[in-house]
């Protein structure tokens, strides 16, 4: 939908500022009450969900133009959806969807971000949306006895389950190792998943988030065609972004695929629950879990709707419109998995699940404004440290990367400000599985 199509939603913003804070019932003190990294960093109201509704209406009415400054405000947002959840605690309209539309308009008006123009240019060929890749794209599975989905037939992929590693696994060592650990774990459980070794392509979701709708749509169609070609029934992703895009974005773009989409943590938890995986080796660690935005609040299935307001003075519709409020994100499987690892003690951060603070990688910010990405990560790491945890565990290579190297500004390891370690949950589970199933 175009930005103007969200006019009624945007006009419902009453300017209450709820979008700036975690849901009010959950505020536990002075600290960590903010939920929006953007306004927390840039302070001006325009950087909040509500402020974006305000100037967004200005854009619709032609009062505000698409200038570099407008683009700067629009792109300095992680699209983490926290504002959307906090708003919908009480209100009845979409905040996040107009933000996507705004970026699309920005790109249309020639205010896209040059660094992203370059990245997206390669998307048509399936190139990963990753700046400065560290590794060759096939490195991560090079030594693994994993089937190639392209080798058709039941012998190669009897379960018809495709493991989609994602761009980061294909381009960075750390994420590659995590992807390797993931397929190893699946294999340990006796599950023969396949990898599209030669043709795994970017899901295209991040391009959509940056306003390149057409390119993302084209990529989505190609990917779905490829899945069909491979005879895939289930898709398991190691990346929370990919997960959300396949599960939510593709249907939103009208690209139906009929696949069951799982995040690796959902899949692994099922295997643990079924007794097919038994973490036995103690990993003595006090950890806190960081909810990736795309796995958590943004992962509710897309709910297509078209209708009309049926009461003049009440936002109720015919047919009824059900808003995605972040209620039913993937919050429990990663936590249950962590709890299944002997020796691991899970402590929650002040902001978690549907009102978790973003890691800073989202919305393309790491590429467009590393300093802001670092700011957001630093806040999250400080919050994690507040819990007394020794490590922050998450379930998305983008989160891992930005928490380990906030904004890409710190070369390696944990951030300079933080002594806390950062793990992908799959790594930790793999460690607990070492030496036996």
Partner 1 sequence: MTLTKEQYRALAAVVGGEHLSDDPVDLDAWAWRSGQAAMAQDFKPRFEAIVMPACTEEVQALVRLCNKFGLKFKASSTGWGSYCDPGGPGCIMLDLRRMDRILEINEENMYAVVEPYVIHAQLQAELMKRGLCCNVNGAGGNTSALPLAAHEGIGHMSASCGIGERNLLACEWVTPAGEVVRLGSLGSLGEWFCGDGPGPSLRGVMRGNVVPLGGLGVYTKAAVKVYHWPGPPSVELKGCSPHYAPVKLPPHFLLRYLSWPAEEGREAGIRRLGESEICFGVMGFNANMMAANVATNNEEELRLTEEYSKQIVGPGVCLVIAGNSARDFEYKRRVLELIVQETGATSLKAVEEGEVHDAFVWRFIRVTASIRETMRATGVFGGEVFGTDSYLVQSNFIQHSRKDKAELVARGLVYPDNTDPFITSLEQGQLTHSEVLLRWTPDPEVAQAAAEYVAKANRNAVEGHYGLPHHLWGDPQHDFFGPHTCNYTHWLRKIKKAYDPNGVAESTHHITAAE
CB of 320 to partner 1, least distance (A): 6
Which CB sits closer to partner 1, 110 or 320?
320
Is 116 within 8 Å of 368 (Cβ atoms)?
A: yes
Binding to partner 1, residues 182-221 (CB under 8 A)? none
Which CB sits closer to partner 1, 111 or 418?
111
Which of residues 3, 36, 38, 53 is near partner 1 by CB under 8 A? 53
> In angstroms, rounded to a whole number, what is the distance separating the alpha carbons of residues 100 and 52?
11
Tell me what percent of the chain is helix, strand and coil, each rounded to the nearest 5. Answer: 45, 10, 45
**Does 62 sit near partner 1 (CB under 8 A)?**
no
CB of 174 to partner 1, least distance (A): 31
> In angstroms, rounded to a whole number, what is the distance separating the alpha carbons of residues 394 and 334?
8
Place of tokens 């392209």: 150
Binding to partner 1, residues 93-132 (CB under 8 A)? 93
> In angstroms, rounded to a whole number, what is the distance separating the alpha carbons of residues 328 and 316?
22
Which CB sits closer to partner 1, 258 or 320?
320
Alpha carbon 2 to chain centroid distance? 23
> In angstroms, rounded to a whole number, what is the distance separating the alpha carbons of residues 10 and 109?
21
Which of residues 142, 228, 303, 316 is near partner 1 by CB under 8 A? 316
CB of 81 to partner 1, least distance (A): 12
Is 354 within 8 Å of 327 (Cβ atoms)?
A: yes
Size of the site for partner 1 (CB under 8 A): 64
**Does 364 sit near partner 1 (CB under 8 A)?**
no
User: Residues, the chain, total?
Assistant: 437
Place of tokens 């970026």: 103
Structure-block tokens of residue 252: 């939103």
Which CB sits closer to partner 1, 25 or 256?
25
**Does 90 sit near partner 1 (CB under 8 A)?**
yes
**Does 28 sit near partner 1 (CB under 8 A)?**
yes
Give the N- to C-terminal CA distance of the chain in Å, as an integer: 48
> In angstroms, rounded to a whole number, what is the distance separating the alpha carbons of residues 278 and 281?
9
**Does 356 sit near partner 1 (CB under 8 A)?**
no
Mention every residue, 6+ apart, whose C-beta is less than 8 A from residue 37. Answer: 78, 80, 357, 358, 360, 372, 375, 376, 379
Which CB sits closer to partner 1, 311 or 412?
311
Q: For residue 340, what are the CA distances in angstroms to 270, 428, 430?
A: 12, 11, 12
Which of residues 78, 88, 213, 335 is near partner 1 by CB under 8 A? 88
Which CB sits closer to partner 1, 37 or 430?
37
Is 321 within 8 Å of 339 (Cβ atoms)?
A: no
Structure-block tokens of residue 333: 């499987």
> In angstroms, rounded to a whole number, what is the distance separating the alpha carbons of residues 180 and 142?
9
Select the span of 131-139, 310-318, 338-346, 390-398 touching partner 1 (CB under 8 A). 310-318
**Does 301 sit near partner 1 (CB under 8 A)?**
no
Which CB sits closer to partner 1, 16 or 437?
16
Which of residues 294, 335, 353, 366 is near partner 1 by CB under 8 A? 353
Residues that bind partner 1 (CB under 8 A): 11-18, 21, 23-30, 33, 43-46, 48, 50-55, 57-58, 61, 63-65, 67, 69-70, 73, 85-86, 88-93, 311-316, 320, 323, 325-329, 331, 353-355
């Amino acid at each position: 939908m175009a930005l103007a199509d969200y006019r009624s939603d945007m006009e419902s913003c009453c300017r209450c500022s709820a979008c700036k804070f975690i849901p009010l019932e959950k505020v536990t003190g002075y600290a960590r009450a903010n939920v929006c990294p953007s306004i927390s960093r840039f302070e001006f109201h325009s950087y909040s969900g509500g402020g974006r509704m305000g100037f967004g209406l200005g854009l619709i009415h032609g009062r505000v133009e698409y200038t570099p400054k407008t683009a700067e405000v629009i792109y300095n947002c992680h699209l983490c959806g926290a504002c959307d959840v906090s708003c919908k605690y009480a209100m009845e309209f979409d905040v996040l969807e107009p933000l996507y539309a705004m970026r699309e308009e920005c790109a249309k008006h020639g205010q896209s971000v040059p660094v992203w123009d370059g990245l997206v240019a390669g998307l048509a060929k399936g190139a990963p949306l990753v700046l400065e890749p560290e590794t060759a794209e096939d490195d991560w599975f090079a030594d693994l006895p994993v089937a190639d989905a392209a080798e058709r037939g039941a012998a190669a992929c009897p379960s018809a389950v495709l493991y989609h590693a994602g761009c980061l696994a294909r381009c960075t060592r750390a994420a590659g190792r995590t992807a390797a650990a993931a397929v190893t774990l699946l294999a340990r459980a006796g599950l023969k998943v396949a990898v599209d070794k030669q043709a795994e392509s970017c899901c295209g979701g991040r391009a959509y988030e940056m306003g390149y709708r057409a390119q993302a749509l084209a990529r989505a169609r190609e990917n779905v065609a490829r899945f069909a070609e491979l005879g895939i029934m289930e898709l398991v992703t190691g990346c929370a972004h990919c997960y959300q895009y396949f599960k939510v974005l593709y249907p939103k773009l009208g690209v139906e695929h009929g696949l069951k989409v799982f995040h690796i943590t959902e899949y692994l938890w099922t295997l643990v629950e079924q007794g097919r995986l038994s973490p036995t080796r103690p990993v003595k660690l006090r950890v806190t879990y960081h909810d990736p935005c795309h796995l958590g609040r943004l992962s509710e299935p897309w709910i297509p709707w078209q209708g009309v307001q049926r009461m003049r003075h009440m936002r109720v519709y015919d047919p009824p419109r059900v808003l995605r409020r972040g209620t039913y994100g993937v919050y429990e499987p990663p936590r249950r998995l962590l709890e299944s690892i002997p020796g691991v003690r899970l402590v929650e951060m002040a902001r978690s699940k549907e009102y978790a603070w973003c890691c800073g990688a989202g919305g393309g910010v790491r590429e467009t404004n590393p300093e802001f990405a670092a700011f957001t990560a630093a806040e999250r790491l400080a919050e994690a440290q507040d819990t007394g945890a020794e490590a922050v565990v998450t379930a998305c290579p983008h989160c891992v990367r930005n928490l380990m190297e906030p904004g890409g500004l710190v070369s390696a390891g944990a951030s300079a400000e933080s002594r806390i370690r950062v793990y992908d949950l799959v790594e930790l589970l793999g460690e607990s599985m070492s030496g036996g199933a």
